[in-house]
Amino acid sequence: VTLAELAPLIGGELIGDGSVEIRRVAPVDPPGALQAGDITLAESEQFFEKAHASNASAIVVSFEPPASAKPLIRVKKTTLALAKMLSIFHSVEKLAAGVHPTAFVGRDVTLGNGVHVGPNAVVKDGASIGDRSIVHAGAVVGERVFLGADCVIHSNATLYRDIRLGDRVIVHSGSVIGSDGFGYVLDGKTRVKIPQVGTVIVEDDVEIGANVAIDRSTLGATVIRRGTKIDNLVQIAHGVIVGRRVLFAAQVGVAGSTTIEDDVVLAGQVGVAGHLRIGKGVVATAQTGIPNSVDAGTMISGYPAIPNRDWLKASAIFRQLPALKKRVAELEERLSELEAKR
């Protein structure tokens, strides 16, 4: 690809010689690894100097660049340019359409155009798989599951029966969608299982990491709305509704029937209790424990969760508690002395 071809593909403006050929995108660190044919990225002048001194053939910049001996592409956001260039230079291997001879596909299954079902994968009766979707080795797609177009179900992932995924949904290996919710009722001393007869609906453009668990609802549906991204080892209980463009970092857990509104961000290992409403745009820092509903737009921390600013201040004093206790004891002593003398 020449620079002149690349610039419009990444939404950037070419500065300098457009005929330079680019074969690879590579990070500016370590600069010694950069070679002729590489394009690298500089978010600031500091990185620009490193990039300019390296053997890279061109640089993507997101600021007003100084005079440069190398050709440049100027963009608004280097990370977005990186994402686009990685798609261009590292194209995903094209898997041959068709069902691998070792896979098992049941009765009444609908396979769209260009669908790939990998070795030892299983697609059960009545499932429907949209155009160009991929079911990798050892993955199991349950009875009557509906998969949209351009989905990727990675190896050894499991989709239980009767659930529905939209278009461009990615499910990484080991993840389980549609397992039974954790619901029991006591009959004397015996716990009776409440049959979990609901479903899971995953909308378009959702990505689900590795070894995630998303339970089906008791009745109705557990829902993950469009554009939401879920990292590895996350737990989503039955009846949870997750809004649009939500981010769950790794090891987050959300208990049953809680609603997470659009654009919420939960950092790693955050836990959310059941039957709550987490308002639009709430951000919870890592390991936050959320026992109550949270108003939209709040940034929270701690366990139990409080506003992040309060938590930062209180946490700073927490470690000084021994000193604070000593000060109180000293005050008591001084005051007693004073009282005695009065």
For its own copies, which is the closer residue by CB, 4 or 306? 306
Give me the least distance between CB of 63 and its own copies, in Å please: 17
Q: What mask of x and - would describe binding to its own copies in positions 88 to 107, judged by CB under 8 A?
A: --x-xx------x-x-x---
Smallest gap, in angstroms, from Cβ of residue 103 to its own copies?
A: 8
115 vs 206 by CB, closer to its own copies: 206
Rounded to whole angstroms, how far apart are CA atoms 240 and 221? 8
Which ranges in 224-263 belong to alpha helices (H)?
A: none
Cβ proximity to its own copies: between 17 and 180 the closer is 180
Q: At its nearest, how many Å lie between its own copies and the CB of residue 340?
A: 11
DSSP states of 116-164 as a string? Answer: EE-TT-EE-TT-EE-TT-EE-TT-EE-TT-EE-TT-EE-TT-EE-SS-E
Closer Cβ to its own copies, 66 or 98, answer by number: 98
Q: Which residues are catalytic?
A: 238
- In the list 54, 62, 128, 156, the residue contacting its own copies (rule: CB under 8 A) is 156
Handedness of CA 160, 162, 163, 168 (dihedral sign): positive
**44 binding its own copies? (CB under 8 A):** no
Stretch that binds its own copies, among 47-55, 62-70, 275-283, 322-330 (CB under 8 A): 322-330
The closest alpha carbon to 131, from 103, 151, 101, 157, belongs to 151
Identity of the residue numbered 332: E
4 near its own copies, judged by CB under 8 A: no
What is the distance between the alpha carbons of residues 33 and 18, in angstroms, rounded to a whole number? 23
Told to check if 37 binds its own copies by CB under 8 A, we report no
Alpha carbons 50 and 31: distance in angstroms, whole number? 7
Please identify which residue in 35, 44, 110, 320 interacts with its own copies, judged by CB under 8 A: 320
- State which of residues 130, 243, 253, 281 lies at the interface with its own copies (CB under 8 A): 253
Please report whether residue 1 would count as binding its own copies according to CB under 8 A.
Answer: no
- Looking at residues 103 to 142 of the shown chain, list those that interact with its own copies (rule: CB under 8 A): 104, 118-120, 122, 124, 136-138, 140, 142
Nearer to its own copies by C-beta: 66 or 330?
330
Q: Which is nearer to its own copies, 52 or 168 (CB)?
A: 168
Question: Cβ(130)–Cβ(114) under 8 Å?
Answer: no
Element (H, E) at 299: strand 299-301
Q: Which of 17, 43, 49, 143 binds its own copies (CB under 8 A)?
A: 143
Largest CA distance in the chain: 98
Closest to its own copies by CB, 66 vs 193, is: 193
Stretch that binds its own copies, among 12-20, 45-53, 66-74, 209-217 (CB under 8 A): 209-217
Crossing angle (nearest 10°) for helices 321-341 and 308-318: 70
DSSP 28-42: SSSGGG--TTEEEEE
Q: Which long-range contacts (CB under 8 A, 24 or more apart) does 4-10 make?
A: 6/39, 6/73, 6/85, 6/88, 7/73, 9/84, 9/88, 10/60, 10/73, 10/75, 10/80, 10/81, 10/84, 10/85, 10/88
Site map 161..200 versus its own copies, x via CB under 8 A:
x--------x-xxxxx--xx-x-xxxx-xxxxxxx-x---
Range 256-315, binding its own copies (CB under 8 A): 268-269, 271, 273, 286-287, 289, 291, 302-304, 306, 310-311, 313-315
